[in-house]
Amino acid sequence: MENQFGSQWPLHHFTHFHIESIEKSNYIIESGGTFQISGKIKNNVQEYATTYIIIKFANADNQHEIITFDSDRDFNEGEKESLRIVDIPPLGGKDFCVQIKLPEDIERQTLDMRIELWSPARRTWSRSSIDTIALFYRSNWGNGIDIIKKEDLIATVFISYSWFSDEHVKWVSKLAQELARRQIKATLDQKDLELGQPITKFMEKGIKSSICICVCSEAYTKKANDESSYGGVEYEISILSNQVLKGRLRSTIIPIIKDNPEKLLPDFLGSAKYINMDTEQWDGIPLTELARTIIKLSS
């Protein structure tokens, strides 16, 4: 099939750049949801240089023939301009980050991703200047996303945890993604707290309206038991403690152990039964037990 630039296009293919790293904020995304792609572009030449990023998503079931999303086609002019990465240092790198919003009516499916790096002329191409356009880098298809429909979700939970390390925060995000794969929506400040939204209101609404998972790390337990400590997680814990005192069923608060060698729970949870996820196989039997418990409580 001849593309819009002609069957022989692109005429030039160089290796001035490559993608050094790439990361997605989510890999399970609700229809109508938003996610981020971030990464680092490496400049392979000994001078400052500029490139234009194109991001594509396609369904693997049809051999990627139908492009579901193409940033060069679907973004507005401002969004496309943000993908023009300028003045990348000689033999150095530069970070990029882009936010993508899925349509509300997108079907449930698995999409593979491709990243392309072009010469800046690709951004404002015309047939008269086609010979100035070069492709610098094109990834293989893969590293994609799973899309789920909102109406397919069967339960909702709120995750309370402590931001004590980047590694722990990333693990909590992965837990939320794995629950989404099992049709359980996990409300999480990393992805659901919007700019300008009052944090306290977000916490109160999440804790009072949902089943709550407490990720009981060592740091979380210490903060919960230290009455002089105050911050975001401490506020969440105070809400939970008050809910328990007011008669909230403890069964709607699910403790899980992670990064907690001594497996100590906060005082307000007493001797509650917990799920141990301090293991390399946490996404096996422990995750299945967690999902089954959430679904049972929601039914």
Do 60 and 158 lie in one domain? The reply is no
Report if residue 140 sits inside a domain: yes
Choosing from 113, 148, 183, the residue where a domain stops is 148
Q: Which residue has the tokens 């309370």?
A: 160
Over the chain (299 residues), the average pLDDT of each successive run of 10 is 43 79 90 93 95 94 90 94 96 96 90 94 69 86 90 90 92 94 89 74 77 93 78 71 65 93 90 94 96 91
CATH number at residue 279: 3.40.50.10140
User: In the chain, how many domains are there?
Assistant: 2
Same domain, 292 and 157: yes
C-alpha closest to that of 279 among 289, 271, 269, 270: 289
Is residue 115 located within the same domain as residue 169? no
* 183 and 142 in a common domain: no
67 falls within a domain: yes
Residues 161 and 290 in one domain: yes
Q: Looking at residue 74, what is its pLDDT?
A: 95
Q: Residue holding tokens 């499916």?
A: 109
- For residues 266 and 237, the answer to whether their CB atoms sit within 8 Å is yes
Which pLDDT belongs to residue 213? 94
- Calpha distance 137→157 (Å, rounded): 41
Q: In the prediction, which pLDDT does 26 show?
A: 87
Residues 279 and 232 reside in one and the same domain: yes
Q: Report pLDDT for 199.
A: 74
Q: What is the pLDDT of residue 129?
A: 62
User: Last residue of a domain, which of 85, 116, 148?
Assistant: 148
Q: Is 88 within 8 Å of 41 (Cβ atoms)?
A: yes
202 and 104 together in one domain: no
Q: Which of 101, 116, 148 is the last residue of a domain?
A: 148
pLDDT at 200: 73
Q: Where in the sequence is the domain holding 58, given as residue range(s)?
A: 12-148
Same domain, 189 and 74: no
pTM of the model: 0.77
